[in-house]
Amino acid sequence: MQAVVITDGNLEIQERPTPEPGPYDVVVNVHAAGINAADLLQRQGFYPAPAGWPADIPGLEMAGVVGAVGDRVGEPLLGRRVCAIVGGGGQATHCLVPAEHLIFIPDDVSWAEAGGFAEAFTTAHDALVTQGHLETGQRVLISGANGGVGTAAVQIAHALGAHVTAVTRTNEHHGQLRLLGADETITTGEVASIDRVNLVLELVGAANLSQAQNILAPRARIVVIGVGGGSRVEIDLRFIMALRATLTGSTLRARSREEKADVVARVNQSLVPRWTDRELRVTVARSFDLEDATKAYECFAESGKFGKVVLHVDQ
């Protein structure tokens, strides 16, 4: 197979052995693969892939057609259009995936859109619902709302009946965010001025959270998913105590196979029907060919894009 390989901090296309599925795995013939902040960190030598995943092939998500199925997989999966989060190795023509991690793509969704679905929507749903306990009618603040996870989170929170305040560095994408379901759109400097919120989905880190901690409602939750805007933040513990607030955070990548299967099951149950109805859509900022991975990473690193950057893979 062909794969993007990290070599001394550079990205090269190399020929690698095509993976064989283990008894409970499938191999997907990849048509598209999204880019995430973790890929850029991994290229810089940080955030290595967890054990059991390709160490030097980046890519935390991909979409394609199931091309090989392990001999203990019970379901008829061969030929199904699927996408998935993976621990690494997504940016290649073939990708090994545990069968229970597959998300089933609606018929009329493009490969580019499917390639950018898994990581963003799985992360956003896990953070908003499973960790953040978001309920209908509650107020949620989503920082970095213009990115891949942000545009997913705005749509999911809106679909759940929450009041959504989308925060971005500039007001460039405010109109698009309202079309996705944001009730209120503000810039980072305006955070302290809005009504109190029940949930902060923190995709930026310290730069936003230092403000957002001042507008927490009683029993508010802060769920930290991204720290591109700084990781060290001064928290006033009096607010935490007086409001009985909670600060938590996570990454999906490091979770066990069983934990990821639980997360995926919730996505197939809760999000895929809404994706099929086009209530949820993946916003693709730009797509690049696999061979142009370096350009795609540069595009991802620029601020101010709206939605996902996706690699297109020929089959």
Residues that bind a second copy (CB under 8 A): 202, 205-206, 209, 224-225, 227, 231-238, 240-242, 244-251, 254
Least separation, in Å, of the C-beta of 119 and a second copy?
15
Q: Are strands 163-168 and 139-143 parallel, antiparallel or unpaired?
A: parallel
Q: Are 118 and 32 in contact (CB under 8 A)?
A: no
Least separation, in Å, of the C-beta of 75 and a second copy?
30
Nearer to a second copy, 210 or 270 (CB): 210
Least separation, in Å, of the C-beta of 179 and a second copy?
30
Would you call 170 exposed, middle or buried from its count of C-beta atoms within 10 A (0-12, 13-18, 19+)? Answer: exposed
Nearer to a second copy, 26 or 209 (CB): 209
Least separation, in Å, of the C-beta of 201 and a second copy?
13
Taken in order 61, 65, 68, 74, the sign of the CA dihedral is positive
Query: Measured between alpha carbons, how far is residue 153 from residues 91, 120, 129, 166, 217 in Å?
Result: 24, 8, 10, 10, 20
Q: Are 71 and 23 in contact (CB under 8 A)?
A: yes
Taken in order 9, 15, 17, 21, the sign of the CA dihedral is positive
- Alpha carbons 202 and 174: distance in angstroms, whole number: 18
Nearer to a second copy, 18 or 246 (CB): 246
Least separation, in Å, of the C-beta of 257 and a second copy?
16
Nearer to a second copy, 39 or 202 (CB): 202
Least separation, in Å, of the C-beta of 212 and a second copy?
12
- Alpha carbons 306 and 285: distance in angstroms, whole number: 5
Nearer to a second copy, 37 or 96 (CB): 37
